[in-house]
A = this chain, B = another copy of it.
Amino acid sequence: MINDFVIKIATVNGTGSASANTLLMKSIFRMGVPVVGKNFFPSNIQGLPTWYEIRVTKDAYLCRSGKVNVLVAMNAETYRQDLAEVAPGGFLIYDSTWPRDRELQRDDIRVLGIPLAQMCNETFSPARVRILMKNICYVGALAALLEIDLDVIEGLLKETFRDKQKLIDSNMQAVRMGYGYAIEHFDCPLPFHLEPMDKTAGHIMIDGNTAAGLGCVYAGATVGAWYPITPSTSLMDAFNAFCSRLRVDSESGERNYCIVQAEDELSAIGMVLGASWNGARSFTPTSGPGVSLMAEWIGYGYFTEIPAVIFDVQRVGPSTGMPTRTQQCDLYSCAYASHGDTKHPCLYPSDPKECFEMAPVAFDLAERLQTPVFVLSDLDIGMNDWMVPEFTWDETYEPDRGKVIRAEELEDGRSFQRYADVDGDGIPWRTLPGDHPAGSYFTRGSGHTAAAKYTEDADEYRKLVDRLARKWETAKDWVPGPVVDERQGLKYAVLAIGSSDGAVREARDKLAGQGVELNYLRVRAFPFSDEVSDFIDRHERVFVVEQNRDAQLRMMLITETGVSSEKLVSVRQYDGMPIESRTVVEAINAVIDNEVAA
């Protein structure tokens, strides 16, 4: 129970609880104790139930635990449901300013009332501040109940408010008020509480969208085009914020970047392709509905061979689905986007650190392969703060802009055919508009020859698409390989993707505890390299863990690697909540028990 429990805060959105919850989570993190923070918020702006869940995990797991031990019930509307969610032996804290219904009681947990509103109303004004301080006040109470270091809290407040001493003071006043009340009225600490550790050194708490936005800055992206859509919006917000600090000429005040808010996603991806055609590193963040709208353009990019980087921060589909819930449901729609024979490289980051690191990889791939490349993050990675190792930067990195012939070489007489496969890898050379008359060519989504001339000739067409297939083979060697954790001789393995990683890791530990050992491979890219099929071949049974209904990853593995479908057992959670280790453990146990029984 020490450093291993879950706190959940039930509030109403628009009441300012988000900053209080971050303060709470960050305080624990600063005490050296690993945390997982998950925000469950509605698809509206104000007035609806919202929850924030903090898992305190001394073992540094990255997923939800599936249990709640301490619940702060600030929302009368969801009180009944919140009460029901506390695990036996847990605690529920509520605002006792208003009495709770007698019926809403449980014998197997302890309910602690704190008159948060009353205290804040007596202490603060105006109304807006009272509402905000109520949140800070429960942080103070939790500090007492869980033994959070008040100095850490104060330090964080100072960082937030900098020299606004008044704000720091009033916030600390609220913290102390909650703290004092708890100390006075309850047995502090609770059995669930904290002890300082040193397991967060060298780590940060960051969300994937911020990380990806930062990654785009480091990748040298200069043109960003987008249309707002949850949960991808904060990616461009981050890029914008970082650029306004890191990409403005200190002397002239001029911007070394250009962000265009498009009128929709069709336009956003068109802008990205236009900018890339013209030689800039360009990208767009979006989510499922945006990918659907981009389908025609994606096929255009594939066929005309224009680079593009598209971040799909996945949310629950189909259609509008649940915009504020998470899923890994666009594997198919990204990999095979657009009509006709099309396939697109996809990267699958598993956490914010990979979002950062895969940004330059995505741009390099897009420019080297001259094709649109997807980065498939999801709401869980993109919008939640994850504990990850600090990002570092390799100063020797230079963007690989791929095969571009610039003016000087053309002037020197280097010959150029836009779509000729001179190197045998399926990838032609390109030139940039405005550079040189000898570099001119005509880009078109219709049939074209190696010299970029219009054609309807059957042979020319076949040559063209066969070369594109060759390029796909090249891509297999260039995309990031899987992450493999394997011991010889095990017959079972798990294969997972993206944010399902955390649940798999904890599940493997749990299963190992039961004596069931499994090897593990996490795919990081499509097309799948041979390593992936070889890994599957080496095992009798492979559990494919993913967060969608239709087992899309499993289907892709079967069709693209030729592995036998019988070998691949699907493990899925697709209800919009980030996958828990329990889902994985139970599914694997069910199969294994069955096999043993059989």
The reply to whether B330 and A339 form a contact with Cβ atoms under 8 Å apart is: yes
Q: Which residues of B contact A558 (CB under 8 A)?
A: 558-559, 565
Q: Which residues of B contact A559 (CB under 8 A)?
A: 555, 558-559, 565
CB of A115 closer than 8 Å to a CB of B: no
Min CB gap A480→B, angstroms: 23
CB of A210 closer than 8 Å to a CB of B: no
CB of A76 closer than 8 Å to a CB of B: no
- Within 8 Å by CB of A289, from B292, B339, B466, B576, lies B339
Binds B, one of A58-66, A362-370, A520-528, A546-554: A546-554
Please, how many angstroms separate the alpha-carbon atoms of A578 and B79 in the complex?
Answer: 66
Q: Which residues of B contact A574 (CB under 8 A)?
A: 341, 462, 465
Residue-by-residue, is A530-572 near B (CB-CB < 8 Å gives 1, otherwise 0)? 0000000000000000001110100100110010111000000
Please, how many angstroms separate the alpha-carbon atoms of A42 and B455 in the complex?
Answer: 10
Q: Which residues of B contact A292 (CB under 8 A)?
A: 295-296, 299, 337-339
CB of A319 closer than 8 Å to a CB of B: yes
Min CB gap A479→B, angstroms: 18
The reply to whether A336 and B338 form a contact with Cβ atoms under 8 Å apart is: no
The reply to whether B42 and A339 form a contact with Cβ atoms under 8 Å apart is: no
Q: Which residues of B contact A447 (CB under 8 A)?
A: 316, 321-322
The reply to whether A341 and B324 form a contact with Cβ atoms under 8 Å apart is: no
Q: Which residues of B contact A469 (CB under 8 A)?
A: 549
Binds B, one of A214-222, A300-308, A584-592: A300-308
A343-B550, A575-B459 known; A299 vs B317 contact (CB < 8 Å): yes
Which of A505-528 touch B at CB < 8 Å?
Answer: none
Please, how many angstroms separate the alpha-carbon atoms of A458 and B466 in the complex?
Answer: 45
Q: Which residue of B lies closest to A554 (CB)?
A: B559
The reply to whether A575 and B458 form a contact with Cβ atoms under 8 Å apart is: yes
CB of A342 closer than 8 Å to a CB of B: yes
Q: Which residues of B contact A89 (CB under 8 A)?
A: none
Min CB gap A30→B, angstroms: 32
A316-B461, A558-B558 known; A456 vs B336 contact (CB < 8 Å): no
Complex A-B, nearest 3 residue pairs according to Cβ-Cβ distance, in ascending order = A317-B340, A288-B339, A319-B445
| 30 cross-chain CB contacts under 8 A | A43-B456, A292-B296, A296-B319, A300-B319, A318-B338, A318-B341, A319-B445, A320-B444, A320-B445, A321-B340, A321-B447, A322-B446, A325-B461, A329-B339, A330-B339, A333-B339, A343-B550, A458-B576, A458-B577, A461-B576, A462-B574, A462-B575, A465-B574, A466-B549, A558-B558, A558-B559, A558-B565, A559-B559, A559-B565, A562-B566
